[in-house]
């Protein structure tokens, strides 16, 4: 593969997987860093699909103000996707098409912003240059509310969902405490996170000590034990007067079945999860007779930019900038990751890590972060989690009382190639 010395060519950026409250801050980091170096950025519409379909967006048409507004705008400004690229051997046509699109638009750097599945896609693309004799550098850019990427200390997107979860647990607990004497005794909050309990764990930041909420956290890292759960709900209501439960969507019974599975699967074969809170609520009502309320914030938790963590927003921006630096420095098959050097004061920096150490791996909560009964978090978990929700990064609000979220023009680049069937 020839090595280029001058910074010629374009950079393509794409968002992938479940979006977050701060993924657009990463986009802002990418675009602003590339602009500063005089490099033109295209964005793919709906992740890798945009690259395959040659649906590209010219970000040079966006004003500086519009790009800056991405820093406080949730969702994925260019659209995202869940789409699995097969291996080069299994579907060479898709890879040839990618190279064809890259070549047609002089794309020399590809930045793929996503979780562990997307890191796998980025890794495959990073190997394309050699296999297909085209000079393309690929950098994975971290993002996921699930916080389950290997190597990095934390994932951009997580700090904000963690803050939303801790704050919501605290606020709803104040509500149920007020009502418990004559009405609701149990409140159940269901959170995302798939097979890792990081988001559920963040709820533990709402309070400390046996009587403080959340009284019970249900982690996917522990088998759901119905008897132990009900006994703890009962004991808490009898002692405290009420009980707050936070349940991860990914909890399973002893047979390994999810308590709540919607019955659908995405392109990566992941079951769609959601609905564990009503299952638990029905159990509490049937076995203990307590009045309950439950909440499933679902997309609210990962889009709650109004309650974002400043730390998270800063890290999301920083990985975007670093990704551009790495790409333009000629790196390939790496991801900018967050490295923590101190808990208090919290100190972090961004460093490159090899994509092959991250792709397709899932980082779960370590045993040392869970209390012995499996229903709470330890001091070590608090030390890890606490800095990630620090600081507020409120979006500006308009006179109508609503946040002033940005909206891009998303001007399409003229297609040069025939349509590709995939």
- Give the separation between CA 249 and CA 218, rounded to whole angstroms: 9
As measured in angstroms, the least distance from the Cβ of 275 to ligand F6P is: 12
Q: Which is nearer to ligand F6P, 19 or 34 (CB)?
A: 19
SS3 for the chain, per residue? Answer: CCCCCCCCCEEEEEECCCCCCCHHHHHHHHHHHHHHCCCCEEEECCCHHHHHCCCEEEHHHCCHHHHHHHHHCCCCCCCCCCCCCCCCCCCHHHHHHHHHHHHHCCEEEEEEEECHHHHHHHHHHHCHHHHHCCCCEEEEEECCCCCCCCCCCCCCCHHHHHHHHHHHHHHHHHHHHHHCCCCCCEEEEEECCCCCCHHHHHHHHHCCCCCCCCCEEECCCCCCCHHHHHHHHHHHHHHHCCEEEEEECCCECCCCCECCEEEEECCCCCEEECCHHHHHHHHHHHHHCCCEEEECCCHHHHHCHHHCEHHHHHHHHHHHHHHHHHHHCCCCCEEEEEEEEECCCCEEEEEEEEHHHCCCCCCCCCHHHECCCCCCECHHHHHHHHHHHCCECCCCECCCCCECCCCCCCCECCCCCCCCCC
Q: Are the C-beta atoms of 313 and 68 separated by less than 8 Å?
A: no
Q: Using the rule CB under 6 A, is 271 a contact of ligand F6P?
A: no
Q: Using the rule CB under 6 A, is 272 a contact of ligand F6P?
A: yes
As measured in angstroms, the least distance from the Cβ of 243 to ligand F6P is: 25
Q: Using the rule CB under 6 A, is 18 a contact of ligand F6P?
A: yes
As measured in angstroms, the least distance from the Cβ of 88 to ligand F6P is: 25
Q: Which is nearer to ligand F6P, 32 or 146 (CB)?
A: 146
As measured in angstroms, the least distance from the Cβ of 58 to ligand F6P is: 27
Cis peptide before 214 (omega within 30 of 0): yes
CA-closest candidate to residue 132, choices 88, 91, 90: 88
Q: Using the rule CB under 6 A, is 40 a contact of ligand F6P?
A: no
**For ligand F6P, which stretch binds (CB under 6 A), given 54-62, 189-197, 277-285, 380-388?**
189-197
Q: How far, in whole angstroms, is CA 179 from its chain's centroid?
A: 34
Q: Using the rule CB under 6 A, is 15 a contact of ligand F6P?
A: no
As measured in angstroms, the least distance from the Cβ of 160 to ligand F6P is: 12
Q: Using the rule CB under 6 A, is 168 a contact of ligand F6P?
A: no
**For ligand F6P, which stretch binds (CB under 6 A), given 23-31, 89-97, 140-148, 172-180?**
140-148
Q: Using the rule CB under 6 A, is 297 a contact of ligand F6P?
A: no
Q: Using the rule CB under 6 A, is 115 a contact of ligand F6P?
A: yes
Of positions 32, 62, 146, 221, contacts ligand F6P by CB under 6 A: 146
146 is catalytic: yes
As measured in angstroms, the least distance from the Cβ of 129 to ligand F6P is: 28
Q: Are the C-beta atoms of 319 and 336 separated by less than 8 Å?
A: yes
| Residue 252 backbone dihedrals phi, psi, to 5 degrees | -130, 155
Q: Using the rule CB under 6 A, is 192 a contact of ligand F6P?
A: yes
Q: Which of 58, 117, 146, 312 does the annotation list as catalytic?
A: 146
CA-closest candidate to residue 323, choices 48, 65, 25, 44: 25
Q: Using the rule CB under 6 A, is 144 a contact of ligand F6P?
A: yes
Q: Using the rule CB under 6 A, is 145 a contact of ligand F6P?
A: yes
As measured in angstroms, the least distance from the Cβ of 377 to ligand F6P is: 19
Q: Which is nearer to ligand F6P, 120 or 146 (CB)?
A: 146
Q: Which of residues 49-88 bind ligand F6P (CB under 6 A)?
A: 82
Q: Which is nearer to ligand F6P, 102 or 164 (CB)?
A: 164
Of positions 119, 273, 370, 408, contacts ligand F6P by CB under 6 A: 273
Of positions 124, 194, 215, 305, contacts ligand F6P by CB under 6 A: 194
Q: Using the rule CB under 6 A, is 333 a contact of ligand F6P?
A: no
Q: Which is nearer to ligand F6P, 29 or 75 (CB)?
A: 75
Residue count, binding to ligand F6P (CB under 6 A): 15
Q: Using the rule CB under 6 A, is 118 a contact of ligand F6P?
A: no
Length of the chain: 422
Q: Are the C-beta atoms of 143 and 156 separated by less than 8 Å?
A: yes
Of positions 302, 305, 306, 363, contacts ligand F6P by CB under 6 A: 302
As measured in angstroms, the least distance from the Cβ of 32 to ligand F6P is: 26
Note the residues at the interface with ligand F6P (CB under 6 A): 17-18, 82, 115, 144-146, 192-194, 249, 266, 272-273, 302
Active site residues: 146
């Amino acid at each position: 593969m020839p090595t280029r010395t001058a910074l010629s060519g374009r950079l393509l950026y794409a968002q992938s997987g479940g979006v977050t409250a701060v993924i657009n801050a990463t986009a802002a980091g990418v675009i602003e860093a590339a602009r500063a170096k005089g490099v033109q950025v295209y964005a793919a519409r709906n992740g890798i699909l945009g690259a395959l379909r040659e649906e590209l967006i010219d970000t040079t048409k966006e004003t500086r103000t519009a790009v800056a507004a991405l820093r406080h705008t949730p969702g994925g400004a260019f659209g995202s996707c869940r789409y699995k690229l097969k291996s080069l051997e299994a579907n060479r046509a898709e890879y040839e098409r990618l190279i064809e699109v890259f070549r047609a638009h002089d794309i020399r750097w590809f930045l793929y912003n996503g979780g562990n599945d997307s890191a796998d896609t980025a890794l495959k693309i990073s190997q394309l240059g050699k296999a297909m004799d085209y000079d393309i550098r690929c950098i994975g850019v971290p993002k996921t509310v699930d916080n389950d990427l290997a190597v990095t200390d934390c994932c951009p997107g997580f700090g904000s969902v963690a803050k939303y979860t801790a704050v919501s647990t605290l606020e709803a607990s104040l509500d149920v405490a007020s009502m418990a004497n004559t009405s609701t005794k149990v409140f159940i909050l269901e959170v995302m996170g798939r097979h890792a309990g990081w988001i559920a764990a963040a709820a533990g930041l709402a309070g400390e000590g046996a009587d403080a909420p959340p009284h019970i956290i249900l982690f996917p890292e522990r088998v759901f034990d119905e008897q132990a759960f009900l006994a703890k709900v009962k004991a808490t209501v009898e002692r405290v007067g009420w009980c707050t439960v936070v349940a991860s969507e990914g909890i399973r019974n002893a047979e390994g079945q999810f308590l709540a599975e919607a019955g659908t699967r995405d392109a990566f074969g992941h079951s769609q999860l959601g609905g564990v809170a009503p299952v638990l609520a029905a159990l509490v009502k049937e076995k203990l007779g307590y009045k309950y309320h439950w909440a499933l914030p679902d997309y609210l938790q990962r889009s709650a930019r109004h309650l974002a963590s400043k730390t998270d927003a800063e890290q999301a921006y920083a990985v975007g900038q670093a990704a551009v630096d790495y790409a333009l420095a000629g790196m390939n098959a790496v991801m900018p990751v967050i490295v923590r050097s101190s808990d208090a004061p919290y100190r972090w920096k961004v460093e490159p890590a090899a994509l092959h150490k991250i792709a397709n791996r899932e980082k779960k909560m370590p045993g040392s972060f869970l209390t012995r009964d499996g229903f709470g978090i330890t001091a070590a978990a608090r030390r890890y989690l606490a800095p990630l929700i620090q600081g507020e990064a409120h979006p500006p609000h308009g006179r109508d009382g609503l946040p002033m979220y940005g909206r891009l023009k998303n001007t399409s680049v003229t297609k040069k190639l025939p349509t590709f069937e995939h």
